[in-house]
Amino acid sequence: MLDLTVITEATIAVPNKPYRARHFIAGAYCNSADGAVSERISPSHGVVASISAKGGAAEAEAAIAAARTAFDDGRWSDVPARARAKVLNKVADLIEANVERLALIETMETGKPISQSRGECGGAADLWRYAASLARTSHGDSHNTLGKDILAVVTKEPIGVVSIITPWNFPFWILSQKLPFALAAGCTCVVKPSEITPSTTAMLAEFLIEAGLPKGVCNIVLGAGNPIGSLMSTHSDVDMITFTGSTGVGKIISQAAANTLKKVALELGGKNPQVVFSDADLDQAADAIAFGVYFNVGQCCNSSSRIIVHEDIAKDLVERVVALTRHVRFGNPLHPDTQVGAIVTPEHNGSIDAHVRAAVRAGATLRLGGAPMVVDGLGQQFYQPTILTGVTAEMPIASSEVFGPVLTVLTFRTMDEAIALTNGTTYGLSAGVWSENVHTCLEFSRRAQAGTVWTNTWMDGFPELAFGGVKQSGQGREIGSYGYDEFLEVKSHVLRIGRTRAPWVKTPSA
Ligand code: NAD
């Protein structure tokens, strides 16, 4: 019998009507030419959360054409950076002023707790402000050491039209990891949110208009990966695509983009380990493990779904995580104290369950949970917090991304074993190490194949730091100055001073 803390009641009312989301193309809202719409049923409350325009090739073509025209005529890229920064800062102000509206629809569409939607949407304002600061401070280089008759200047120029495709797990945050940075660089954009969480992206158009972003600089098309995302990946008028989503779709996009050799930036899946050495602070580690696996119901690219723990402390650590799990507040996302909400779709709930069942069949031990969960008054689109012990590296659950509240526990004896397990998957997004010994931490940090390594902490993130994965977790970086540079081309200008150039062709008079 599971002994959990479950919150069934809400303190915030379900909206009395669905949000209506439309495309935003060339500065105007529009419906689809054929009038098609799609409804999003709230995972937690079973009501229609939003009705959105469902676009097709016509809308994608129109959005790409608008972005191309807006880039080519310089209405945004020629604007001084201080003016671009002013628009981005204004958008940040409007995001903060509208956090409650954004957070409510984010929760209705994703099923995540309202406190986390507030954090995600409100916190995104800082990404917009940081991108604005980069617009004003980023610059190229000059070289005056190449000879007294040569001066060379390296400039950064916007790459052009950028396609932005985002997933459903952090719709507004991930949008804000990309769009303000592309805009700060002077690019124009076509944005496609996930078809199941379109509304906060659609709502952003209001703020872009009010902040004074010129028409056509940011275009938003709502609808499915096919045909919209496909066109955004193949179209010859698009210069770059930045995608966050599954590794499978990332590969499709990479192949689709190859024909036009557009630049591709990918933020993909992960099977991220927290590695706990025997001298670690186990209270801190256990809490970070609970946070790492249950935050966003584990539907998180950075979910620490793998624990690799020294065998001497494995039993103790697992018992601590089990004990903490009983105090995590699961249930109604419309209560401010809830920490873990609903699973995004019934299909995804089924997929999580299938992973767990297969793991048990393969020999793993179910220490906690292991089944879908019903929350009184809210239906059954929830999943029990689940801990699988006795997992070995050969079992599929040790290396496949479950994207649910499912923790797999593996053990090690030596640093080399810990590193082999850490690096033994095709993913390489993030990793963590827990030890009181600085040498252990530094050695792990340097040997782990991951875009981010956390030491004695988990999932601390900052706009200033680059984010991204190695191996099949992605390519390119997001946020930080490295993320900003992804949206820029670098050009070298070489200038000769005076008539010092020796002729190449030897003429009779020379
Ligand atoms: P998904 O790959 O199914 O969909 C992501 C987006 O791609 C959606 O907008 C979808 O409509 C679009 N799409 C689907 N098919 C397409 C195609 N053929 N061409 C172009 N676009 C297409 O991912 P999801 O289920 O929405 O999100 C979950 C996945 O995202 C997980 O694997 C997770 O790890 C990953 N993710 C990664 C990060 C990161 O930063 N590394 C962050 C969040 C999520």
pLDDT in tens, 7-53: 999 999 999 999 999 999 999 999 999 999 999 999 999 999 999 99
Distance 171 CA to ligand 1 centre (A): 11
Closest atom, ligand 1, to C-alpha of 232: 20
Q: Residue 238 burial by CB count (10 A; 0-12/13-18/19+): exposed, middle or buried?
A: buried
Is 157 assigned a catalytic role? no
Q: How far is the CA of 168 from the centre of ligand 1 (A)?
A: 8
**Residue 510, pLDDT score:** 63
Q: Which domains does the chain have, with CATH numbers?
A: 12-268+469-492 (3.40.605.10), 273-455 (3.40.309.10)
Residue 114 pLDDT level (bands cut at 50, 70, 90): very high
120 lines ligand 1 (CB under 6 A): no
Q: Which of 313, 284, 252, 294 is nearest to 382 (CA)?
A: 294
* Residue range 347-372, pLDDT digits in tens: 999 999 999 999 999 999 999 999 99
Tell how far the Cα of 196 is from the centroid of ligand 1, in angstroms. 11
Q: Which of 54, 177, 194 gets mutated to test ligand 1 (max ligand atoms within 8 A of its CB)?
A: 194
Print burial letters for 255-287: b (CB count within 10 Å at least 16), e (below 16).
Answer: ebbeeeebbbbbbbbbbbbbbbbbebebeebbe
- The C-alpha atoms of residue 412 and residue 422 are separated, in whole angstroms, by 10
Q: Are the C-beta atoms of residues 177 and 83 closer than 8 Å to each other?
A: no
Q: Which residue has the tokens 């809490």?
A: 287
pTM confidence score:
0.97
- The answer to whether the CB of 226 is under 6 A from ligand 1 is yes
How far is the C-alpha of 263 from the C-alpha of 243, rounded, in Å?
A: 11
Residue 380: pLDDT band (50, 70, 90) is confident
Place of tokens 């698009």: 238
**Integer distance in angstroms from the first to the last C-alpha of the chain?**
96
Residue 1 has what pLDDT?
Answer: 59
Q: What length is written for the chain?
A: 510
pLDDT over 90 (residue 383): yes
Chain centroid to CA 143 = 37
Which of 195, 299, 301 best tests ligand 1's pocket when mutated (most atoms within 8 Å of CB)?
301
Inter-CA distances, 262 with 115, 238, 239, 247, Å: 39, 7, 5, 19
Give, for 393, the enclosing helix (H) or strand (E): none
Does the annotation mark 301 as catalytic?
yes
Distance of CA 267 from the midpoint of ligand 1 (Å): 9
